[in-house]
Structure 1
Amino acid sequence: MKVGIFSAKAYDEAVFNSANPSSEIELHYIPAHLDCDTVAICSQFDVVCVFVNDDVSAAVVDALANHGVKHIALRCAGYNNVDLEQAKARGLAVSHVPAYSPEAVAEHAVALMLTLNRKMNKAYNRVREGNFDLTGLTGFTMAGKTAGVVGTGNIGHATAHILLGFGCKVVCFDPYPKQELIDAGAQYVTFDHLLEQSDIITLHCPLNEQSYHLINDQTVARMRDGVMLINTSRGGLIDTHAVINGLKSRKIGYLGLDVYEMESELFFRDHSFEIIQDDVFERLLTFHNVMITGHQGFFTQEALDQIASTTLNNIHKVAGGETESPTFLVAPPESHT
């Protein structure tokens, strides 16, 4: 069974090779994204393994099916880049990794909060230059502040627990409240209430038609002045132009991003010797109170190991004819016969 792993990096190769002692699966690593230009090489694969910025639109799904591919294996939780209806119509199984060390992303979200708040990056650079002046490094005490968690799935749940540990008042918005968080001291509120009451807002929800541009001019206007906004989920949750306006008006006092709406053109590659053509992204970088990381929230050894293990297990399940699993977004065709 031949598997083409797209958007492959050296660390992908290391963890997948380590997790794949079986000779039944032959792994092929392709550094390029999967898209309409690269799908032609998939005629040699039974399975394609894709990541967050690969293009698995309807046209690509059709091409995969025509090339004889039977399974699209996502090595991530999100699947907004996959046309699931077309995959189902063409008889392709689709699997993902719904839970992999949610603490990894939660800890990164809180790291963004702490770095922005206490200006760790600026302090580090000053001390390296022999400057120990504290002017301009004033932060705020997290304990007692209201932190709003939008989405309390595995990652949002873990983030809420960390913030409760800091002594924050945690308010949450999610259609499906978790009793465990309520018992721990969190409170579920309406989205408007969360926007109006939170000193910190952190986003942990999937990207879909309902959540696209959840943060926009109208929702920014409802936030507290000087709010801290964190997004480690999906870039499309935020209307970047609205956030830039919020930064300029000082409605948003701190912005921490690990994702960006147009990140597929930038992230996971070295552009240090190029002129970046994305003027919106470059404008974000001009603000002193903005911190952007390159979609590294998931990037811990534990998470990588779990992603590789679950992805390979999904491939084995589909090959073995298993038709029911919580990791299947589209079950293998056998489940429909």
Structure 2
Amino acid sequence: MKIIFFSAKPYDKQFFDRYNTNTGLTFEYFETHLGPHIVNVVENAIGVCVFVNDKLTADVIKVLASKGVKIIALRCAGFNNVDLEAAKQYGMRVCRVPAYSPEAVAEHTVAMLLTLNRKTHKAYNRVREQNFSLNGLLGFNVHNKTVGVIGTGKIGKAFCKIMLGFGCHIVAFDMFHDEELKAAGVTYLPKEAVFKQADILSLHCPLTHENHYLINKDTMGMMKKGVVILNTSRGGLICTTDIIEALKERHVGQLGIDVYEQEEKLFFRDLSENIIEDDTIQRLMSFPNVLVTAHQAFFTEEALSQISQVTINSIKMLSAGAEPFNNAVILL
């Protein structure tokens, strides 16, 4: 049984081939993302395996269905890039990796915070040039700061635990309250109250129609002047044009993003010899108080191992008419 991978990088092939033993599955890899331009290459495959920037629109799914594809396997947690109604219409099964080393993303979020605050990236470059001045490297103590967390699922929970270890006060918003976090000292508040109280605000929620552009001119207007905003979830949670204005007005003190709302045109590629036509990301990266990483937060040995194993297991079980474990199935 053949599975065709899209947006496949060398590390995807390395990990999926490593764990594809005695499964009866064969893998074919395409580096390009899945969309209308490439969908017709799918032949004799029971499923496709896709990532965050693949576009499974109704038209793409219709073509996949006509070619006999039965399974859409997301090797990620989010699924906002899949038209689930179309998949249901054509009788496809959709699965994902609901939890893979949440500590990987949480730890990267903390790394971004500390890098922005203590400016270690700038210090590294200075010292390599024999510049040992401390001017311009002033930071602040993270200890005793109020950290706002939007979303306390597995990743948000892991982030909360780390920040509690720093001696921070944690205020959080989630539709479902985690009793373990409450017992540890996390205070759940309405979303607006979290915005108002946070010195540092970190986003750990999925992208939905309801929270698209959650961070916008109005919500940032509720926040403290100098607030630090971190986003390792989905780019569409932040209105980029609004946050650029907030940075220019010095209302947002620092911004760390591992995701970007137009990232599919940029991330996971080497564009060092190209002229980037996205003026918005260029403007964003021009700020000295902005740190951008290219959807790197998940990128650990442990996370890639779990992603590969869970995805392969889900495909194997779905193809056999069984149900995967760990709530991996989105669409029955």
Matched, 1:194 2:189: no
Equivalent in the alignment of 2:273: 273
CA deviation profile, 1:167-190 (whole Å, cap 9, x unmatched): 000000001010000001110011
Equivalent in the alignment of 1:246: 246
Equivalent in the alignment of 1:321: 321
| Equivalent AA in structure 1 for residue 170 of structure 2 | V
CA deviation profile, 1:104-157 (whole Å, cap 9, x unmatched): 000000000000000011100111011111011110001100000000000000
CA deviation profile, 1:11-43 (whole Å, cap 9, x unmatched): 001000101112510011111111001110112
| RMSD between superposed Cα atoms in Å | 0.8
- Segments of structure 1 that go 5 or more residues without pairing to the other structure are 332-337
TM-fit CA distance, 1:236? 0.2
Partner Cα separation in structure 1 for residue 280 and residue 184 of structure 2: 40
Equivalent in the alignment of 1:230: 230
TM-fit CA distance, 1:324? 6.5
Equivalent in the alignment of 1:121: 121
Contact 2:198 2:223 in 1 (8 A): yes
Equivalent in the alignment of 2:183: 183
- SS of 2:230's equivalent in the other structure is strand
Equivalent in the alignment of 1:41: 41
Where do 1:143-182 residues align within 5 Å?
A: 143-182=143-182
Equivalent in the alignment of 1:303: 303
Matched, 1:96 2:96: yes
- SS of 1:98's equivalent in the other structure is coil
| Equivalent AA in structure 2 for residue 328 of structure 1 | V
- SS of 1:161's equivalent in the other structure is helix
Matched, 1:203 2:206: no
- SS of 2:139's equivalent in the other structure is coil
- Segments of structure 2 that go 5 or more residues without pairing to the other structure are none
- SS of 1:253's equivalent in the other structure is strand
- SS of 1:250's equivalent in the other structure is coil
- 4+ aligned runs moved over 2 Å, structure 1: none
Partner Cα separation in structure 2 for residue 240 and residue 197 of structure 1: 22
Equivalent in the alignment of 2:293: 293
TM-score using structure 1 length: 0.97
CA deviation profile, 1:174-210 (whole Å, cap 9, x unmatched): 0101000000111001111111110000000000111
TM-fit CA distance, 1:90? 0.5
Equivalent in the alignment of 2:22: 22
- SS of 2:43's equivalent in the other structure is helix
Contact 2:317 2:324 in 1 (8 A): no
| Equivalent AA in structure 1 for residue 2 of structure 2 | K
| Equivalent AA in structure 1 for residue 239 of structure 2 | D
Partner Cα separation in structure 2 for residue 169 and residue 219 of structure 1: 21
> Which region of structure 1 is more displaced relative to structure 2, 96-105 or 43-52?
43-52
1:39 to 1:173, Cα distance in 2 relative to 1, 3 A: same
Contact 2:314 2:323 in 1 (8 A): no
Equivalent in the alignment of 2:331: 330
TM-fit CA distance, 1:319? 1.0
TM-fit CA distance, 1:44? 2.5
TM-score using structure 2 length: 0.99
Instruction: Give the percent of matched residue pairs that are identical in Structure 1 and Structure 2.
Output: 51
| Equivalent AA in structure 2 for residue 118 of structure 1 | R
